[in-house]
Amino acid sequence: MSLIAIINYGMGNVGSIYNMLKKIQANAIIATTPEAAQGADKLILPGIGAFDHGMKSLKEGGWLPFLQTKAIEEKTPVLGICLGMQLMTLCSEEGQIPGLGWLDAKTVRFQKERLQNQKIPHMGWNLVYVTQDPPIDISTGDRFYFVHSYHVIGNEKNTVARTHYGYDFCSVICQGNLIGAQFHPEKSHRFGMRLLKSFAQVPQYA
């Protein structure tokens, strides 16, 4: 059974993610150092909070070289959740520090003028609409829990699901071994459980 390491850099629901992985009988650990995650076959990069703070926390924890090697050189499957997904992009309108730059995408703030009086942040349950075959188990009409003021803009090739909040935005992105979900699967009951179970079964990329 493959080992999933949840990256604990101080900015995510690591306990909730770990508990849900245990419910589906996945082999998972919470890794507080790169050394602890060294033997992992898959990584989950969670995240709640500000973009620059997230990048600083990864750098201060010594995570950047490890993550680069695992994700880019070794093609380890990585699931980025919420801020974790955004950190995988090139940059964010929220901050000044470049992102990890793994995804051909950027992170932008919700355009208030297009939200039709809806509030920022986008918070609560919403549906996903699958636009192409995803590597994880999600279907059009699945409901997930969102909390975010920024969203990712990818391209047609790497956007695999969208969600509507005033306008359509990318809610799931995939680029090779890299997967990002803007919502919180660990808060999304059976739909989130199904997603995480399918990620646990994603094959290792050659």
Residue numbers annotated as active site: 82, 184, 186
Whole-angstrom distance, CA of residue 28 vs CA of residue 30: 7
Question: Is residue 5 within a helix (H) or strand (E), and if so which, with residue range?
Answer: strand 3-7
| Residue 122 near residue 149 (C-beta atoms within 8 A) | yes
| Residue 28 near residue 3 (C-beta atoms within 8 A) | yes
Q: What's at 10, amino acid-wise?
A: G
The DSSP-derived string for 31-97 is ESSTGGGTT-SEEEE---S-HHHHHHHHHHTTHHHHHHIIIIIS---EEEETHHHHHTSS-BTT-SS
